[in-house]
Amino acid sequence: MISVGARAAAGRRRAARRPKPIDTGQFRTIISPLQLNSRWGRRVYWAVLVTVVVTFTLAFVFPLYWMITGAMKTGEEIAQMPPTLFPADPTLDAYAEAWNLFDLGTLLWNTAYYSLGGWVFCMLVDVSAAYALSRLRPMFGGVILGAMLATLMIPAMVVLIPLYVTVVDLGLLNNPWGLWFPAAANGFNIFLLKRFFDSIPRELIEAARIDGAGAFRVLWSVVLPVSRPILGVVSIFTIVTSFKDFVWPLLVMTDSDKMTLSVGLSQTAGMVTQNAVMGGLVVASIPTIIVFFVFQRHIMAGLTAGSIKG
Amino acid sequence: MAVLRRNLTAYGFLCAALFCFAVFAWYPMIREFILSFQETNLIDPPTWVGLDNFEYAVGYPGFTEAWIATLQFTFLALVCGFAVPFVVALVLNELRHARAYLRFVVYLPVMLPPIVAVLLFRWFFDPGPGLFNQLLGLVNLPGLAWLDSPATALISLVIVSTWMNMGSATLIYLAALQNIPPELYEAAELDGAGILKRIRHVTIPQTRLILLLMLMLQIVATMQVFIEPYMLTGGGPAGSTVTVAYMMFQFAFTNQNYGVAGALGMMLMIVLLVFAAFQLRLTREDKA
């Protein structure tokens, strides 16, 4: 016990000499603040911190750097061995080339149209369904919700083939509704929305009822305004998921002028030079990275909220 | 009357969703069942063939290999994709600096469209000017054939898959770790438990449920692996990366043999439902 006290005192003296002890904040984790601020604790801590930051940057940022600079190299430079760390003569030619070869303008427009259209339809369908199940409580509501949630248990790859057969039967190939209808049948969205609607205080809704508001009016003027956080999370996830989707659009949108960005890139990638491929990939990544920058907190909150209790 | 009106309004709000679910979720589940007992190419009228599709699929050369490849992929992807994010989350949770940056960076690949990750890594795996062999060359190691050799192809797919998926698991574990009451660590420390013992007796029991849940989720997700073999290897070399999902896709969309694809799908579904049922039980336990 004496030695611990002595070490603590030594730590304190050293902390006084050094201007900045490691601020542990209000968290207490596996390693105690005392241990962390001991002489060895500090050394190990800084060593680990630097290693982790360097490793993460190399593992997750460097590949993207390689992609962006790869697209700025000439066709010869990108095939050169050993490769250059910086493009010798950075040009944007590969981006222009990628734009023309992949017809990126059309692909981007298609993808944006499918994602945003699908988002509007999905929100209309899922919000009204969740509202009905949560607030209007129809007969068999529980059974319906259960059947909707049960679809989450069925592996996506397994449903792919019968779903494709269904869409072919309905003649929805190369029709955006072939993407939008299946995307709207999303049990997880309905579950998240319903759970949020359930938590809205009764008094709020009763007050609107007494003022003579009908079911639609209550949804529009009371429920939706207070549900902005969950609507935001569900919207972001719906748009990002449909933007990233690959296998389903590959099957449904087969005409080259109706393809999505992901599918278009995959179909043409084998036929063009490596720097043009990288140019196409950079263009495809930019929208998702921007969305991530802007909505980072919503996305991370939604991720943990959805998966832990889902 | 009031009850009737309330129900009418409710079903008015529900009808769009009921239509979408009925046609594009519930009916396909039944259709999958029907499909697996029929022979159909979507052009000629389907005929009932009993269990022929199942027999054909089981007897098809490469059937066993596809299951072995799927299980190998799942196992390797779990070793990387299950253990690595937990260890990373443990370390991140101890750090007091650069937390926002590290969280942002680890989730970045998850945000990218999978096709970007896959095509980017296809270039990295290039045995000639690809990044990985060039890096190996820097430290005087011989280059690998990566996707071109049956020995390394599956591992290469696991690397891509882990790179693009580990972010979400890491953040979920991180959130779980932050929910552990600090008193438990303090008590363990007073009892003289070292760092490893604190992990063993506090951290792991406290996160046991979320760990098991994520394990089930990841098994179900990785056993359906498709984009990686489809885009990177096309099932090769020598069929070493033909997974069950890939084989199913081939039967349906290359051979137009939807019945056999349906039968394979049924088998895959039965296996996955076992894990999904286990996951459901854990979720119940979580809520109780």
Tell me the chain A residues in contact with residue B109 when contact means C-beta distances shorter than 8 Å. 60
Q: Is residue B16 part of a domain?
A: no
Instruction: Clarify whether residues A134 and A180 are in a common domain.
Output: yes
Q: Is residue B38 part of a domain?
A: no
Tell me the chain B residues in contact with residue A284 when contact means C-beta distances shorter than 8 Å. 113, 115-116
Is B29 in Cβ contact with A159 (below 8 Å)? yes
Nearest by CB to residue B245, choosing from A52, A67, A157, is A157
Residue for token digits 């269990």? B51
Question: How close A193 gets to chain B, by Cα (Å)?
Answer: 13
Predicted pLDDT of residue A11: 47
Q: Is residue A77 part of a domain?
A: no
> Is some CB atom of chain B closer than 8 A to the CB atom of A120?
no
**CA-nearest residue of chain B to A179?**
B24
The number of residues in chain A equals 310
Is B93 in Cβ contact with A29 (below 8 Å)? yes
> Is some CB atom of chain B closer than 8 A to the CB atom of A1?
no
ipTM: 0.87
Is B6 in Cβ contact with A137 (below 8 Å)? yes
CATH code of the domain covering residue B120 = 1.10.3720.10
Count Cα atoms within 13 angstroms, Cβ side, for B196: 0
Q: Which of B70, B73, B92, B94 to mutate to test the interface with A (most CBs of A within 10 A)?
A: B94
d(CA B146, CA B126): 8
Q: Which of A3, A20, A29, A35 to mutate to test the interface with B (most CBs of B within 10 A)?
A: A29
Predicted pLDDT of residue A58: 92
Domain that holds residue A224: 98-309
Q: How many domains does chain B have?
A: 1
* Percent with pLDDT over 90 in chain A: 42
**CA-nearest residue of chain B to A47?**
B95
Q: Is residue A219 part of a domain?
A: yes
d(CA B9, CA A137): 10
Nearest by CB to residue B96, choosing from A24, A160, A181, is A24
Report whether pLDDT(A25) > 70: no
Q: Is residue B93 part of a domain?
A: yes
Residue by residue, what is the 3-state secondary structure of chain B? CHHHHHHHHHHHHHHHHHHHHHHHHHHHHHHHHHHCCEECCCCCCCEECCCHHHHHHHHCCCHHHHHHHHHHHHHHHHHHHHHHHHHHHHHHHHCCCCHHHHHHHHHHHHHCCHHHHHHHHHHHCCCCCCHHHHHHHHCCCCCCCHHHCHHHHHHHHHHHHHHHHHHHHHHHHHHHHHCCCHHHHHHHHHCCCCHHHHHHHHHHHHHHHHHHHHHHHHHHHHCCCCHHHHHHHCCCCCCCCCCHHHHHHHHHHCCCCHHHHHHHHHHHHHHHHHHHHHHHHHHHHHHC
Give the amino acid at B205: P
Instruction: Clarify whether residues A137 and A218 are in a common domain.
Output: yes
Q: Is residue A92 part of a domain?
A: no
Q: Is residue A236 part of a domain?
A: yes
Is B134 in Cβ contact with A285 (below 8 Å)? no
> Is some CB atom of chain B closer than 8 A to the CB atom of A94?
no
Please enumerate in sequence order all residues whose Cβ is within 8 A of that of B75, keeping only pairs 6 or more positions apart, or say none. none
Tell me the chain B residues in contact with residue A129 when contact means C-beta distances shorter than 8 Å. 13-14, 16-18
CATH code of the domain covering residue A279 = 1.10.3720.10
Instruction: Clarify whether residues A24 and A172 are in a common domain.
Output: no
Please enumerate in sequence order all residues whose Cβ is within 8 A of that of A166, keeping only pairs 6 or more positions apart, or say none. B23, B24, B27, B28, B31
Instruction: Clarify whether residues A59 and A156 are in a common domain.
Output: no
Greater confidence (A88 vs A157) lies with: A157
Predicted pLDDT of residue B22: 95
Beta strands in A218-278 (DSSP E): none
Is A60 in Cβ contact with B109 (below 8 Å)? yes
**Confidence tier at A62 by pLDDT (50, 70, 90):** very high
Predicted pLDDT of residue A305: 64
Tell me the chain B residues in contact with residue A213 when contact means C-beta distances shorter than 8 Å. none
Instruction: Clarify whether residues A272 and A125 are in a common domain.
Output: yes
Nearest by CB to residue A30, choosing from B108, B134, B198, is B198
pLDDT per residue, tens digit, chain B (288 aa), is 778 888 888 899 999 999 999 999 999 999 999 988 988 877 777 888 888 889 888 888 889 999 999 999 999 988 888 888 999 999 998 888 888 899 999 999 999 999 999 999 999 998 877 888 888 888 888 878 888 888 888 889 999 999 998 998 899 898 888 888 888 888 888 888 888 888 888 888 888 888 888 888 888 888 888 999 999 888 878 888 899 999 999 989 888 888 899 999 999 999 988 888 887 787 777 665
> Is some CB atom of chain B closer than 8 A to the CB atom of A220?
no
**CA-nearest residue of chain A to B41?**
A165
Please enumerate in sequence order all residues whose Cβ is within 8 A of that of A141, keeping only pairs 6 or more positions apart, or say none. A132, A133, B10
Q: Is residue B104 part of a domain?
A: yes
**Confidence tier at A21 by pLDDT (50, 70, 90):** low
Predicted pLDDT of residue A13: 46
Predicted pLDDT of residue A92: 84
Report whether pLDDT(A15) > 80: no
Q: Is residue B101 part of a domain?
A: yes
Domain that holds residue B178: 48-287
Instruction: Clarify whether residues A155 and A294 are in a common domain.
Output: yes
Q: Is residue A276 part of a domain?
A: yes
Q: What is the DSSP string of B214-262?
A: HHHHHHHHHTT--HHIIIIITT-STTTT--HHHHHHHHHHTS--HHHHH
How many A×B Cβ pairs under 8 Å? 285
Q: Which of residues 186-215 of A touch B (CB under 8 A)?
A: 187, 190, 215
Is A240 in Cβ contact with B265 (below 8 Å)? no
Instruction: Clarify whether residues A126 and A40 are in a common domain.
Output: no
Q: Which of B120, B230, B278, B282 to mutate to test the interface with A (most CBs of A within 10 A)?
A: B120
Q: Is residue A16 part of a domain?
A: yes
CB crowding B96-127: b at 16 or more within 10 Å, else e: eebeeebbbbbbbbbbbbbbbbbbbbbbbbbe
User: Within 10 Å of residue B142's Cβ, how many Cβ atoms?
Assistant: 7
Q: How many domains does chain A have?
A: 2
Instruction: Clarify whether residues A102 and A176 are in a common domain.
Output: yes
Is B172 in Cβ contact with A303 (below 8 Å)? yes
Is B186 in Cβ contact with A28 (below 8 Å)? yes
CB crowding A190-205: b at 16 or more within 10 Å, else e: bbbbbebbeeeeeeeb
Instruction: Clarify whether residues A38 and A135 are in a common domain.
Output: no
Instruction: Clarify whether residues A103 and A61 are in a common domain.
Output: no
d(CA A16, CA A186): 58
Q: Is residue A235 part of a domain?
A: yes
Rg (CA), chain A: 27
Report whether pLDDT(A300) > 60: yes
Instruction: Clarify whether residues A304 and A241 are in a common domain.
Output: yes
**Confidence tier at A301 by pLDDT (50, 70, 90):** confident
Is A23 in Cβ contact with B95 (below 8 Å)? no
Question: How close A171 gets to chain B, by Cα (Å)?
Answer: 12
Q: Which of residues 274-293 of A touch B (CB under 8 A)?
A: 274, 277-278, 281, 284-285, 288-289, 291-292
pTM, two decimal places: 0.86
Nearest by CB to residue B31, choosing from A59, A166, A277, is A166
Q: Is residue B234 part of a domain?
A: yes
Instruction: Clarify whether residues A36 and A175 are in a common domain.
Output: no
Q: Is residue A87 part of a domain?
A: no
Q: Is residue B35 part of a domain?
A: no
